[in-house]
Chain A
């Protein structure tokens, strides 16, 4: 049936076979300025986080005599409320804040994707049970839920990671289940079932390759969300605890400086904002260009 006339088709340009790598190179070449900016920023952050001890001028918790010292040669961005060097704290903050957010996102993804795909494949009571549980968890705003759980378990780094990963995995679950369902109903999955393939093979060979792109994009978005949630919790004083350097708590601890027109407390806040902006730019471009990647297959 010619339900819709495909737009292309008429031009039978000679098909050039492209490998995956060359396709990626072409996509990169077409990437807009914002995406390049984003990738550059992410790279810088990664380097700073990985090599923090080499880059930072002082030790993480080294205390100097003067608190709230102004910007100078000795202390590029001055010192904080206890007299620790701001620049050093910023650099170590990258390591702590990004590292914790990254681990949390990976945990939440592992749980969310596994359960979401299982629900999509087996439907039935398993799907019902998981979906209803997720509905309930999502009916409490996650920051509020996190605050409540942290008030009970206390704000250790482990409980912080577990609580946020649990709350965030609900969203990953929903997405994985939805994209999984779209693929599970395809006839090539039915073909594999009819052939007698086991569920593990079907999941790995038939389903996963087809949902990888949306999942990668979602990973970026979820990372931003987790990162912002942890920053907010730390800012509220119930996230990452002192003496670890962390951007959220640095903003809170030095906030009084703002009243004197000092820009220093905005630096860690800006560092958070810059990274999320960068990730969002890259994800935005990725989502935009993956539709094109598919057409070129």
Chain B
């Protein structure tokens, strides 16, 4: 149990003390500050969570704690005392002896951080053998032991595989084993589960937490996900723009944050919209089956109803076919069989057969506004084109409409002559929304529109979309993998898994009492802002015997 083991850990001595840390990064022909005077310390066996939005400098601090700066970065000031010695002022050779053996690193996307040319086992034991900590035979036996502890399948033989031969979740655990090989005093985890699906994430989190506790290893856990850090950390430090906002014990930080910024961060996940029932359906999809060139079937027999003026959330993990469904609705990937009807009229399956007006009535917003906006077109050109193309607006009429649209997305007209590169992520996404609205659509497909944004910005965008629906009566198909987003915006929920609809129904019904086992698994795997959530879930699953089955 988490709470008891935390108390039982050997504590007292400081392992790592970081003082006045400054890091700069090189871009645009000059140095910019990334980390500006951060202090913290870490005791043996303690886990410190570093949390913040993009640009907060948390990953850079994680690496600096190892005395390392990425190529293109430099540590300009401060000290990093590890076990009483300054990592920054010691010789490179001494630092090298500490790295891997006493301080280790676990990266976000293991697929890129593992060397593709070597077997997992060779990479796991490399440091131990090179630093003379263990003989090759001992190290191999120990690696198998670690694989077992991390609940990797076939621990005896998995080490003989190459990185591309195992799955993402397994690779992330193998990387943890590699970090553990020399039983380091400190491990830096840099968003180790961010790239994984939620059901996989639970297992990896559980494995990581177990080995860290078993070996009483201190850790720095870097993440942007509050619920995840709540499960892993004893203490949490909130960062913003390379500076510390506040630092406190996990429970205290969750229940009583002292700073306004932290409170905003915390409040983000609590947005929830009451669901409203619809009168009729704007879009009905019946028994649609679709496949990509090459014949791989990605959707089989999918039927979905989209209520008019409401939001349907399509929920599922990667590979569930939810984005493919969006391509089928837009006509980019014509369905092989089945039918779609829009506003009680049959909708031609292929984009080419649809009339200009039909195209106007269904619009789409994408996940990444960076690739959805042409970097060479100004905001004005972007918004004006649908007005000219669909509605034939010109001159003053056009300019007035552009002004109205900018007002709707809560931006002023001084942005009109800017290029996308001069806007923030949230502003770019607003422009994409304005472009969709310019067509006066009846249905907007939103494909993970908030996933690429920071949480505070996510909330602003969601509120904007809700307001626009209320004012304009537009319907949304909202594709997402994030349950908090579903809670915030949906009226109805469709759960998809491996190209099939698992269940569809009103939001409250699906979220509170799911019928399908997969929905149950999916919902229970979403971390909650409660430090005891993971412990409780594992205990529950152990009782039900589902944890092993889910591996």
Contact = CB atoms under 8 A, between A and B. Distances in A.
B411 to A, nearest CB: 15
A28 to B, nearest CB: 14
A194 B364 contact: yes
Most buried by B among A186, A188, A195: A188
Interface in B19-70: 25-29, 32-34, 36, 53-60
A297 interface: yes
Contact of A191 (B34, B195, B241, B435): B435
B371 A186 contact: yes
A209 B452 contact: no
A42 to B, nearest CB: 25
B158 interface: no
Contacts of A8: 25, 27-28, 32
Contact of B53 (A2, A196, A206): A2
Interface string A21-38: 000000000100000000
A297 B54 contact: no
A209 B389 contact: no
A224 to B, nearest CB: 27
Contacts of B33: 10-11
Nearest to A19: B417
A210 B374 contact: yes
A1 B351 contact: no
A187 B421 contact: no
Contact of A187 (B191, B371, B390): B371
Contacts of A17: 417-418, 422
B58 A5 contact: yes
Contacts of A296: 28, 421
Interface in B119-163: none
Given A5-B58, A196-B356, A187 B34 contact: no
Contact of B57 (A10, A188, A193, A195): A10
A7 B34 CA distance: 7
B72 interface: yes
A196 B376 CA distance: 20
Contacts, number: 113
A74 to B, nearest CB: 53
A292 B332 CA distance: 35
Interface hub of A191, A193, A195 (most chain B Cβ within 10 A): A191
Contact of B108 (A3, A15, A195, A197): A3
Given A8-B32, A196-B389, A210 B55 contact: no
Contacts of A193: 332, 351
B385 interface: yes
B224 interface: yes
Contacts of A194: 330, 332, 351, 359, 363-364
A73 interface: no
Describe B's contact surface by its main secondary structure. Answer: loop
Contacts of A195: 359, 385-386, 389-390, 439
Nearest to A206: B374
Interface in B414-461: 417-422, 435, 439, 451-452, 454
B523 interface: no
B375 A210 contact: yes
Given A187-B368, A297-B375, A10 B32 contact: yes
B194 interface: yes
A191 to B, nearest CB: 6
Contacts of A9: 54-55, 241
Interface string A56-99: 00000000000000000000000000000000000000000000
Instruction: State which size class the interface on B falls in.
Output: 35 or more
B442 to A, nearest CB: 15
Interface residues of A, number: 33
B85 interface: no
A218 B109 CA distance: 35
A8 to B, nearest CB: 5
Interface string B104-119: 0000110000000000
B389 A188 contact: no
B237 to A, nearest CB: 16
Contacts of B195: 1, 3
A193 B330 CA distance: 10
A186 B390 CA distance: 22
A186 B29 CA distance: 28
A10 B29 contact: no
B169 interface: no
A292 B29 CA distance: 8
A206 B422 CA distance: 19
Contacts of B452: 1
Contacts of B531: none
Nearest to B243: A10
A191 B420 CA distance: 16
A190 B363 CA distance: 12
Nearest to B24: A7
B372 interface: yes
Contacts of A5: 34, 54-60
Nearest to B364: A194
Interface string A250-289: 0000000000000000000000000000000000000000
Nearest to A30: B29
A294 interface: yes
B419 A297 contact: yes
A230 B33 CA distance: 52
Given A2-B53, A5-B54, A9-B54, A187 B372 contact: yes
B404 to A, nearest CB: 20
Contacts of B371: 186-188
Question: 3 closest pairs, A vs B, by CB?
Answer: A297-B421, A9-B55, A7-B25
Given A3-B195, A8-B32, A17-B417, 11 more contacts: A1-B195, A5-B58, A7-B25, A7-B26, A7-B73, A9-B55, A10-B55, A10-B242, A188-B373, A209-B374, A295-B28
13 contacts: A3-B194, A5-B34, A5-B54, A5-B60, A6-B54, A7-B34, A15-B422, A30-B29, A196-B354, A206-B374, A294-B421, A296-B421, A297-B420
